Amino acid sequence: MTIEELEQIARSVQQENAKYDYEVNVCMDLACASQGAGLLRDALVKLAEASGKKVLIRKTGCMGPCSSGPLVRVDPEETLYAKVKAANADAIINSLGEKPVAELQCDLNEHFDKQVRVVLENAGHIDPEKIDDYISRDGYKALLTALTEMTPNGVVHRITESGLRGRGGGGYPTGLKWGTVAKASGDLKYVVCNGDEGDPGAFMDRSVMEGDPHRVIEGMAIAAYAVGASKGFIYVRAEYPVAVSRLTTALREARRRGLLGAGICNTTFNFDIEIRLGAGAFVCGEETALLASIEGRRGTPKPRPPYPAVSGLWGKPTLINNVETYANIAPIVRNGGKWFFNMGSERSKGTKVFALTGRIKHTGLIEVPLGIKLWEIIDVIGGGVPGGHKLKAIQTGGPSGGCIPADMMGLGVSYDALMAAGSIMGSGGMIVMDDTSCMVNVARFFVEFCMTESCGKCIPCRAGTAQMHTLLTRICEGAGTMDDLELLVELCETVKETSLCGLGQTAPNPVLSTLKYFKNEYLEHILHKRCPSGVCNMAGAMEAEPAVVEVLA
């Protein structure tokens, strides 16, 4: 495969597409598929054939605004239809060449205008199971450019120059990580993609792996070239069967085209990727635990250093990045580091994909330049809180993150600003809560999650989260005292300071951030035995004896 051959493929796809007068793209992502997108597509195919019009029906990955699904976009006019049922297929096919179907059309301009699509540039435009579709949109061009025109150091330099930071949540500078692995000695190195999206309420990585799998593969191949690795692993949750099957297809296609395997593109570079299935353990998102899981063991973390960059899989230098980080690589190599550097805020460059969910009008997947204000995401892109309710807080970062109160909506979304506000960027879950959510109850939900997911290796996390849960449950049931609250804060500090890995170190964040901004809710529960949002069941709290505080090691 050479650049010329790649361009040849792209041209032939364009020629093939030019045979059609219309392209009808049907979103087949989980949210749309669960609302009958499959039947809709079958109906469209059947009716298009019968109509005699030259129509290409394409199944695509997530288009974004899932709450308006099933979505259909008709090109070249770019008409977007929302909530389309199989019964509407007739109207859509009939409208081709005529006026669009007014009653299905949706006006989501506001939703899309503030977004900048880098990672999701192909979402809704390609069939994820066709490598040629990806190639026709500049796919694998970056890999070939890197292999033929750049040195490995040059690639690392470009990534460093772009200012890209890890999209898994930590925000470690990607270029720096790559440089460390590249410098590590050893002839066998590994590249690992973390697709264990365990954070509940986040599905960005699933959508990328399902909707544009080649983008992840290309990013990993470029990374492997840059750091000198010959073998890669994609670690995917078993709960994402579609992602696994799309990636399997994509890997097979890439091998067939000579974009993976031995001597890629007539160079001496060899690289291949294997898929490894996760088995339902949140802690495996932690890098050392993930590596243990790939090695077939229990996913328990190890103290660092040594960092995986020096001693990772089977003791070899290993580069681990998140799905979205790899998805950013090809555009950076193609367009240059400066291009990426010019997007975003001062210390957080580029764009970030968020899964916008909870009490908001337009739920779904969005991609925004970093530095964007929270209110722009909530009010403009998300369309505000529905049902006349009042926004209370935004939760970012999942169980490791925190809640940002409604009066801080002027905050710019960046790694540092979110950290300063007591939350974290996290992998990109953004859950909107309104006045029907009790913040104490939410904190308890997250602590319960961390308690169940704690691997049990270190005591602060194993016993600490369990005790935190006991205290929070007591408060939620109206049996909490002010002593409990004091103890809770003390415990949070201990767990945060002394846990072995990120799971324990960040487990207190939901508690500390809600205590910081919503202390009055805790006090209401304790002093007045009242849940302001009416979520917690306080029955029996009144006659209960004052609780005896027991703390066990």
Partner 1 sequence: MAAFTPPPLPSEDKRWKIVAGTMRKNGFARHALIETLHTVQSSFGYLDDDAIRFVAQSLRVPLSQAYGVVTFYHYFSLKPPGKHTMTLCAGTACYIKGTDKLIASAEKHLGVKSGQTTKRSEISLMTARCVGACSRAPVMICDGDVAGEVTDEQMIAQLERWAVE
Sign of torsion over alpha carbons 365, 371, 375, 381: negative
| Count of C-beta atoms within a 10 Å radius of residue 497 | 11
End-to-end CA distance of the chain: give it in Å, rounded.
Answer: 62
Q: Indicate which single residue of 11, 54, 255, 297 sits in contact with partner 1 (rule: CB under 8 A).
A: 297
Q: Indicate which single residue of 26, 33, 159, 417 sits in contact with partner 1 (rule: CB under 8 A).
A: 33
Radius of gyration of the chain (CA): 25
Nearer residue to partner 1 within complex by CB, 101 or 468? 468
Question: Which residues, 6+ apart, have CB-to-CB distance to 407 below 8 Å?
Answer: none
Q: How many CA atoms lie within 13 A of 428 on its CB side?
A: 26
For residue 356, state whether it binds partner 1 (rule: CB under 8 A): yes
Cβ–Cβ < 8 Å for 116, 368: yes
Nearer residue to partner 1 within complex by CB, 129 or 314? 314
Q: Indicate which single residue of 20, 112, 341, 445 sits in contact with partner 1 (rule: CB under 8 A).
A: 445
For residue 61, state whether it binds partner 1 (rule: CB under 8 A): no
For residue 73, state whether it binds partner 1 (rule: CB under 8 A): no
Q: How many CA atoms lie within 13 A of 294 on its CB side?
A: 29
Burial label, 487 (beta-carbon count in 10 A; 0-12, 13-18, 19+)? middle
CB of 102: closest distance to partner 1 in angstroms?
25
Q: Indicate which single residue of 60, 88, 293, 509 sits in contact with partner 1 (rule: CB under 8 A).
A: 293
Q: Indicate which single residue of 228, 350, 358, 480 sits in contact with partner 1 (rule: CB under 8 A).
A: 358
Cβ–Cβ < 8 Å for 246, 210: yes
Cβ–Cβ < 8 Å for 260, 272: yes
Stretch that binds partner 1, among 20-28, 168-176, 297-305, 369-377 (CB under 8 A): 297-305
Q: Indicate which single residue of 365, 391, 439, 475 sits in contact with partner 1 (rule: CB under 8 A).
A: 365
Q: Indicate which single residue of 195, 364, 478, 502 sits in contact with partner 1 (rule: CB under 8 A).
A: 364
As a whole number of angstroms, the distance between CA 544 and CA 532 comes to 20
Stretch that binds partner 1, among 111-119, 145-153, 245-253, 363-371 (CB under 8 A): 363-371
Q: Indicate which single residue of 50, 238, 420, 549 sits in contact with partner 1 (rule: CB under 8 A).
A: 238
As a whole number of angstroms, the distance between CA 188 and CA 435 comes to 54
Q: By CB under 8 A, how many residues form the interface with partner 1?
A: 52
Q: Going residue by residue from 178 to 197, which x/- string records binding to partner 1, judged by CB under 8 A? A: -------------------x
Q: Indicate which single residue of 200, 336, 384, 412 sits in contact with partner 1 (rule: CB under 8 A).
A: 200
Nearer residue to partner 1 within complex by CB, 171 or 382? 382
CB of 126: closest distance to partner 1 in angstroms?
20
Strand extents, DSSP E, 156-299: 190-195, 231-236, 272-277
Tell me, what amino acid is at 397? G
DSSP 3-state assignment of 412? strand
For residue 202, state whether it binds partner 1 (rule: CB under 8 A): yes
Sign of torsion over alpha carbons 90, 93, 97, 103: positive
For residue 67, state whether it binds partner 1 (rule: CB under 8 A): yes
Encoded tokens for 239: 């709960």
CB of 343: closest distance to partner 1 in angstroms?
25
For residue 136, state whether it binds partner 1 (rule: CB under 8 A): no
Q: Indicate which single residue of 186, 261, 263, 280 sits in contact with partner 1 (rule: CB under 8 A).
A: 280
For residue 201, state whether it binds partner 1 (rule: CB under 8 A): yes
For residue 295, state whether it binds partner 1 (rule: CB under 8 A): yes
Stretch that binds partner 1, among 160-168, 260-268, 442-450, 460-468 (CB under 8 A): 442-450
As a whole number of angstroms, the distance between CA 369 and CA 295 comes to 37
- CA distances to 10, 193, 316, 456, 487 from 275, in Å: 28, 9, 19, 27, 45
As a whole number of angstroms, the distance between CA 535 and CA 187 comes to 58
Stretch that binds partner 1, among 15-23, 261-269, 439-447, 500-508 (CB under 8 A): 439-447
Q: What phi and psi values does residue 310 have, to the nearest 5 degrees? A: -100, -45
Bridge partners of residue 232, in order along the sequence: 191, 273
As a whole number of angstroms, the distance between CA 124 and CA 127 comes to 8
For residue 351, state whether it binds partner 1 (rule: CB under 8 A): no
Pairing relationship of beta strands 351-358 and 231-236 according to DSSP bridges: unpaired
Nearer residue to partner 1 within complex by CB, 283 or 417? 283
CB of 281: closest distance to partner 1 in angstroms?
5
Please state whether the peptide bond connecting residue 70 to the residue before it is cis, i.e. omega within 30 degrees of 0. Answer: yes
For residue 480, state whether it binds partner 1 (rule: CB under 8 A): no
Question: Which residues, 6+ apart, have CB-to-CB distance to 150 below 8 Å?
Answer: 158, 333
For residue 537, state whether it binds partner 1 (rule: CB under 8 A): no
CB of 166: closest distance to partner 1 in angstroms?
21
For residue 299, state whether it binds partner 1 (rule: CB under 8 A): yes
CB of 67: closest distance to partner 1 in angstroms?
6
Cβ–Cβ < 8 Å for 264, 257: no
For residue 429, state whether it binds partner 1 (rule: CB under 8 A): yes
For residue 34, state whether it binds partner 1 (rule: CB under 8 A): yes
Binding site for partner 1 (CB under 8 A): 30-31, 33-35, 66-67, 197-203, 206-207, 238-240, 276-282, 293-299, 355-359, 363-365, 395, 398, 429, 431, 433, 437, 442, 445-446, 449, 455
